[in-house]
Structure 1
């Protein structure tokens, strides 16, 4: 008789434990936040690069006093993820519209952060541009083509809010580094492509009038490309596409800017390090641009490591090349 109350108490404890465990579990089908990959940061890249060149330093120039900023602005919600962007802009002048630039961070499509290009955005704003740094879904959360769709939505957001920031909607550029450079080139060569035109602000255009690709690959399946070599470790691109290039090569071709070059492709600036595989397909793409009569230019730092735009002494010339190119192709003569 004494055993029954003890058994009953034990049963209650088991029931309560099971109930608490069930309540702690997510509802069926509920999307949980993806763990953030922090393998690529400005500091980690600096620590690695400094071993080869002890003279480098992280570029942190003072923001021009005339520059204003609005940060952490939600621009589009995908599932439960409210994607955010930051806007850096000159003090507005009445009736003056300015060209704008969307800046895209790198990190192998699975790491990195939009804050890495805040210094560049501030300096571009000081030169008369509206500069936007935007996050996008990484491969830990969603595979290709989610990142492209997100960033095109950011461009549509820029046009939808053009009056607030004094943006000239006919003069938008996209700038990207590494994986961001690949995305910038793909975005600019697929103006109006319905595959990527999904998401927020559907009544606005995501087209751009200029591209700046900083060490971003132009062709995944190419003799110069190192992406997709999974012999030692799964490559960043394989993670992004969700399968090796031998399984779905059509996706790897589709995501290559070289595949989409046409007479409608905007002018492109290439700024490159000495790591040749980071601009695979560039020369082939430039030859196509020349055939269409489209302007392009290349600047290269043969001694520079891949993350060079984050560091001195390369930050200042990268900014200079960017501004000179954008002034040439976007600003009225």
Structure 2
């Protein structure tokens, strides 16, 4: 990423945070597909909008409450193929980005719908953001969403042994953290239902906040983690998926931009996964804007990489 792109990215996220803070008492969220596209098209002429699918080939089940917190009701959307089949299908839980400060499940609806068109159950989830409840609230929300999917597997004809998580940007860290901490006591909610997942797709998300190549200062992470890395290093380390990689870690796909800051620790993680004979892929898409997965032509690339990975891991034809 060149200097101009880095500055544009910084200003874009800063403006989003300012808007998010000032509008925190409304239902509007400035970090959405339309605003992201409008901010991007000025510097990337090739960018084009993606739009929701409207087809009878998909069952739409939206705004389902999966958890009630002191802050609000957390909802998710379920998209599944309409065609009847006796075969149970893999599910993919989608986690939006936004620096843990902003964003909404609707940003991942289109990807979830396309996954349904490919024979998967796409589940786009909301979770508590930093200004509502700091770390580790979002982690527990994602874990509870995984458990909700497993509890409702029969209703949606989901194979409970084939559940993946796909996370973008900060959601990528959450997805990878969920994948590397399945059933670990540190993030356990003491339920009989497992939070285990069988595959992770990380869209340009960090895997370590304390790696030697990680930036020491990250204002959004500082808000989420109740203090800077210097003041609260334990939380920064505990929130880093790289710390937990082991023999039980699931297969992982990393789809990266050219932004080096999001790469910190990924080579170490893939090396560890290979030591444990865990399948992993890394795909890097050049000339990408921030949130590239929310616009074409990068959306299609992201979808195709994801489907190919999922088909391989879950042995789907």
TM-score, normalised to structure 2, is 0.88
Contact 1:71 1:87 in 2 (8 A): yes
CA drift of 1:117 comes to 1.1
The match for 1:306 among 267, 270, 290 is 290
For residue 208 of structure 1, what is the aligned residue in structure 2? 197
Distance (Å, rounded) in 2 between the aligned partners of 1:119 and 1:241 = 30
For residue 315 of structure 1, what is the aligned residue in structure 2? 299
Distance (Å, rounded) in 1 between the aligned partners of 2:31 and 2:207 = 21
65 and 111 in structure 1: CA distance in 2 versus 1, 3 angstrom threshold:
same
For residue 41 of structure 1, what is the aligned residue in structure 2? 32
For residues 22-67 of structure 1, the C-alpha deviation after alignment (integer angstroms, 9 at most, x for no partner) is: xxxxxxxxxxx96668342223322222222122112126345311
What pairs with 1:19-38 in structure 2 (closer than 5 Å)?
Answer: 38=29
Distance (Å, rounded) in 2 between the aligned partners of 1:134 and 1:322 = 18
Q: Does 1:188 align with 2:179?
A: yes
Q: Does 1:174 align with 2:165?
A: yes
298 and 285 in structure 1: CA distance in 2 versus 1, 3 angstrom threshold:
same
Task: From the CA coordinates, give the structure whose radius of gyration is larger.
Answer: 1
Q: Secondary structure at the match of 1:265?
A: coil
Q: Secondary structure at the match of 1:322?
A: helix
Distance (Å, rounded) in 2 between the aligned partners of 1:61 and 1:125 = 12
Q: Between Structure 1 and Structure 2, how many residues are aligned?
A: 294
Q: Does 1:241 align with 2:225?
A: yes
Contact 1:176 1:183 in 2 (8 A): yes
244 and 112 in structure 1: CA distance in 2 versus 1, 3 angstrom threshold:
same
Contact 2:57 2:83 in 1 (8 A): no
For residues 236-285 of structure 1, the C-alpha deviation after alignment (integer angstroms, 9 at most, x for no partner) is: 00000011111111110111111000011000000011111123211111
The match for 2:260 among 266, 276, 284 is 276
155 and 283 in structure 1: CA distance in 2 versus 1, 3 angstrom threshold:
same
Structure 1, unaligned stretches of length 5 or more?
1-32, 230-234
For residue 18 of structure 2, what is the aligned residue in structure 1? none
Q: Does 1:132 align with 2:123?
A: yes
For residue 84 of structure 2, what is the aligned residue in structure 1? 93
The match for 1:222 among 207, 211, 216 is 211
Contact 2:201 2:252 in 1 (8 A): yes
Contact 1:37 1:111 in 2 (8 A): no
38 and 134 in structure 1: CA distance in 2 versus 1, 3 angstrom threshold:
same
TM-score, normalised to structure 1, is 0.84
Q: Does 1:60 align with 2:60?
A: no
CA drift of 1:75 comes to 0.4
The match for 2:65 among 41, 61, 74 is 74
Distance (Å, rounded) in 2 between the aligned partners of 1:291 and 1:241 = 31
Q: CA RMSD in A?
A: 1.8
Contact 1:121 1:132 in 2 (8 A): yes
Q: Does 1:288 align with 2:272?
A: yes
Contact 2:200 2:252 in 1 (8 A): yes
For residue 238 of structure 2, what is the aligned residue in structure 1? 254
The match for 2:150 among 154, 159, 181 is 159
